[in-house]
Chains A and B, each alone.
Chain A
Amino acid sequence: MPLKRPPEYPAGIQTALMLALCPLFLLFALLPMDSVAQMTATMPLIGIMWYCRSSLQDEEAGGFHHMLIMVLGTLITLRYITWRAMFTLGSHGLFNTTFTLVLFAAEVYSIGLYLLGLVVNAKPLDRPLLTMADLPARTEIPTVDVLVPSYNEEAGMLEVTLRAALAMDYPTDRLRVHLLDDGGTDQKIADPDPGKAQAARERRRTLRALCLKLGANYITRAKNEHAKAGNINSALKHISGHLVVILDADHIVTTDFLDHTVPWFIHHDDIFLVQTPHFMINPDPVDRNLLRSFDRMPSENDMFYDTIQRGLDFWSSSFFCGSAAVLRRRHLDEIGGLQGDSITEDAESALALHQRGYRSVYVAHPMVAGLAPETFAAFIIQRMRWAQGMTQILLLKRPFLASGLRWYQRIGYMSSMLFWLFPFARLAFLLSPLAYLLFGVEVYNASLREIFAYAIPHIIANYTVTNTLFGRTRWPIISEIYEILQCIFSLEAIIQVLLNPRKPAFMVTPKGDTLDEDFISPLARPFYILNLAVLLGFIGGLWRLYLYPLTRDLTTVVLLWNLFNFFTVVASLGVLFERHQRRSSPRMPLHEPGWIETAQGERLPCEVDDISAGGVRALVARQGAKQGLDDLVHLVAYSTPLGRHVRIPCRVRGNHPVHERIALGLKFETTTEREANDAVTLAFGDSARWAFFQQRRHREFPFWSAIRLLVLLVRKPIAQHLGVLLRHTLTGLSHIRRLPRMRPATREISTSD
């Protein structure tokens, strides 16, 4: 199906226009001006940007107002960085110069990444949602192999994933599902530790039986080599389908996944990949522990999957994300299977295939539901792997020089990979104000007037542009919290890669954890130190205000900078307070009508309020609810993907009033294969539900509301951490108080001896 693209002017005219505009653009960027002239020039530009922002409502991304905002924002930013380079780097002494250059390098990095991001996200592509029904009657349907690599995931989780994969709407003789078990390999079974060997044997036996029951194929291998990529490559030797679907162990597909992805391969022979978003059905630790707004705020990965991947897709450089994707087997074979030089085999393989001139497609419709890491430690493991893997590709594959790539693909890959170097910049932005406030290091040689003329317009322009591009999928200031949380650990991981690019090993992200009680993350210590340093910065700043009246302007500005850091660093403490999580299968809101059939034959109308892999919460009228705990009932609800009502036996596990109705907690108790399949399809089969949920979260959040939220967030983490510290201190004190009582007893024993 032809895509709707903007009208293209002849290449000559485009080039001439660009060449004519470039000198003007550069002239304005480099034109020396004093502070007043700069301010009078930039404020109207910001006024124009503001006007454009208010005119965006009925304009799609890439329109005139979008472009104008980006051009003006770039202009203001370039003027800022030029001024920084020319007038603010003068310093004396090695210590001063080093800090000044580190901060400047961090700014250059951020602005460079920002400019790359502008190109990438200038025109996010909206692909049409193709369907198999639109194909001509005699079209040959390709055979599909679904691969579910697993390492240590439990059988219950894998059962849901396999059932959903088998329930996909596709000709059954053309679809095969394989479980690739790396936890039951020959190597694991021959483990010298008898306990581990027995567990591996047991796992192999259980999963093989599960596959036999469901109609899937169980595959394992001799040795655990090259982690996930090795597992998949090993399985490729046993399968021969035209297309390969890769799903993580916790990734549950909707029934229409193949219906919307396979037609792309039939229409275009040069497409090697159709990637779809990973839709997370549980909050990540930042959301769960701190923000608690899973159903209101866009998820962290929405920015990537709803904006950046679409932007990359416009430039033919959307890449494989390890799961929720379909790959063409023939193309994969050309590069010898998934690449294994880095620990992010997905992006590396996509890069290799892009280099060969094949195309990728990104379908921005959520059709795969997965789990986000539950704990902060698991979150950090995942992010460290991504940071290390992308840095490995940057160093080993060098996309900026790689042959076969178009210039825009190089920009796309560089933007995706350079992003992961953010820990250097983030730490520089955190520590620079402290260097000035505590040690008097002049990291930023500028007067207050210059800051107002150059820095403030740059910050406003930067915010306006970022908000224009990502406003719907990332609330203001949230990125700062995520970056602060990752920067310390990712920095260490990246330095390891820089020292030895081939050293990092693949780490499996733990998923589906349950937490019995609240606790402080074991990774909290560096953040306590950071908080303490920021607090000391305030003391140093006040001292400088008092002692150095001539630099009061600058000190005030740096104190404000430190105040912003304080709020974000304290907010990040809230993430480190891990809240208990007793439910292993997350619930998603549903709000669909249904009935509950009781053992007595009554039929109560209900509203299915939420649903998970294990059960539902149903709201029934108060007068009709006579179910006691452990009663067996049947839930009858309409399943859109199946096109019929499903009837699932459930056990009543909870019964409590909600407003004017009774909420019944029902646990699925399926007895037949059909019922079990129906339960999975009812819970996870409908992609429209994920899209609806996602769209409701995609909305802009005003800047001042975000600031207010940040300020309000500060109180809670401090109270939580102080509470735990106080509890520990009291426990310690009571322990000490008990010690003297124990000593005489010891003495008595020794005396009697």
Chain B
Amino acid sequence: MNFQRMESFPPPDRVSGLPPSSKPSNGDEMMDPRPEWLATAHHLFLRTERKLTAAQKFHAAVMGTFLVSAMNLVFLFQHNPAHENLWFALSLFLLLPSVVLVPFTWATRRSLSRKRNDLARRFFEQGLSVDPLGRLVTLEAHSKVVLPLPAITESPPAELVAKRQAA
């Protein structure tokens, strides 16, 4: 473990309970002896990762629907096949919601991705990373488990809620 890095935990952000990013310090940071922000950040990272996977799948599904319906319309306009009206209605039925949803799914995916990357970067700055099993481990050849895989819940941890309320 890289003790020099671990000894200098930055204080948690007052709103999110997370450590500040690597932006230049204003000099009033204090050493935080309590690494509980790690547990919070770890928990949040795993939840974000899971949400991101779901968002990616949903976005791809919406985009796929959009592509299929749009291409179907192109085909209908070019070839006038049998049961044209039925296919036309079906394509429109799929196209309209997918057109509306695509920007939202894209934005959701992007914001989750940025959030996940931001957390990963903060772990990296502390010489830590989340391994494929979801454990928080030290970033070195013979890695040590800092935090095991927590039970992921839908609601944010009570500690985080309390900090938000306090803020």
Contacts and interface: CB of A to CB of B under 8 A. Distances in A.
Contact of A54 (B3, B60, B72): B60
Interface in A621-645: 640
Contacts of B72: 40
Given A39-B74, A55-B57, A593-B3, A47 B141 contact: no
Nearest to A50: B60
B75 A43 contact: no
B132 to A, nearest CB: 9
Indicate the size class of the contact surface on chain A. 20 to 34
Contacts of A54: 56-57, 59-60
Given A607-B4, A688-B142, A692-B141, A36 B67 contact: no
Contacts of B78: 36-37
B64 A48 contact: yes
Contacts of A51: 57, 60-61, 63-64
Contact of A40 (B53, B66, B74, B141): B74
A686 B142 CA distance: 10
B18 to A, nearest CB: 23
Contacts of A50: 60, 63-64
Contact of B60 (A37, A40, A55, A592): A55
In the complex, which of the residues B4, B64, B143 has the most CB atoms of chain A within 10 Å of its own CB atom?
B64
B68 A44 contact: yes
B79 A591 contact: no
A44 B64 contact: yes
Interface in A589-606: 591-593
Contacts of B75: 36-37, 40
A47 B74 contact: no
A242 interface: no
Contact of B71 (A39, A591, A607): A39
Nearest to B72: A40
Contacts of A37: 75, 78-79
Interface in B1-36: 2-4
Interface string B114-140: 000000000000000000000000001
Interface string B53-96: 10011011101101110011011001100000000000000000
Contacts of B142: 640, 688
A507 B11 CA distance: 60
A691 interface: yes
Contacts of A44: 64, 67-68, 71
A46 interface: yes
Nearest to A688: B141
Contacts of A48: 64
Contacts of B140: 591-592, 692
A43 B71 contact: yes
A47 B69 CA distance: 11
A58 interface: yes
B67 A46 contact: yes
A37 B140 CA distance: 54
A50 B3 CA distance: 43
Nearest to B64: A47
A689 B142 CA distance: 8
A54 B59 CA distance: 9
Contacts of A689: 141
A671 interface: no
A686 B4 CA distance: 23
Contacts of B66: 47
A201 B63 CA distance: 72
A57 interface: yes
A53 B63 CA distance: 13
Contact of B74 (A36, A53, A691): A36
A394 B131 CA distance: 43
A693 B141 CA distance: 8
Interface in A312-363: none
Nearest to A692: B141
A688 B3 CA distance: 20
B68 A47 contact: yes
Nearest to A52: B60
B59 to A, nearest CB: 7
Contacts of B63: 47, 50-51
Contact of B141 (A39, A46, A691): A691
Nearest to A607: B4
A283 to B, nearest CB: 20
A545 B59 CA distance: 40
A47 B59 CA distance: 11
A58 B46 CA distance: 13
A606 to B, nearest CB: 10
A591 B3 CA distance: 11
Contacts of B141: 640, 686, 688-689, 691-693
A43 B67 contact: yes
A37 B79 CA distance: 9
Interface in A40-98: 40-41, 43-44, 46-48, 50-51, 53-55, 57-58
B53 A57 contact: yes
Nearest to B132: A58
A591 B140 CA distance: 8
A36 B79 contact: yes
Contacts of B61: 51
Interface string A16-32: 00000000000000000
Contacts of B67: 43-44, 46-47
Interface in B38-58: 53, 56-57
In the complex, which of the residues B56, B60, B75, B141 has the most CB atoms of chain A within 10 Å of its own CB atom?
B141
B34 to A, nearest CB: 24
Nearest to A605: B4
Contacts of A58: 53
Nearest to A689: B141
Nearest to A590: B141
Given A36-B78, A39-B74, A607-B4, 13 more contacts: A36-B74, A37-B75, A37-B78, A43-B71, A46-B67, A47-B60, A47-B68, A48-B64, A51-B63, A54-B56, A55-B56, A57-B53, A592-B140
28 contacts: A36-B74, A36-B78, A40-B72, A40-B74, A43-B67, A43-B71, A44-B64, A44-B71, A47-B60, A47-B63, A47-B64, A50-B60, A50-B63, A50-B64, A51-B57, A51-B61, A51-B63, A51-B64, A53-B60, A55-B56, A55-B57, A57-B56, A640-B141, A686-B141, A688-B142, A691-B141, A692-B141, A693-B141
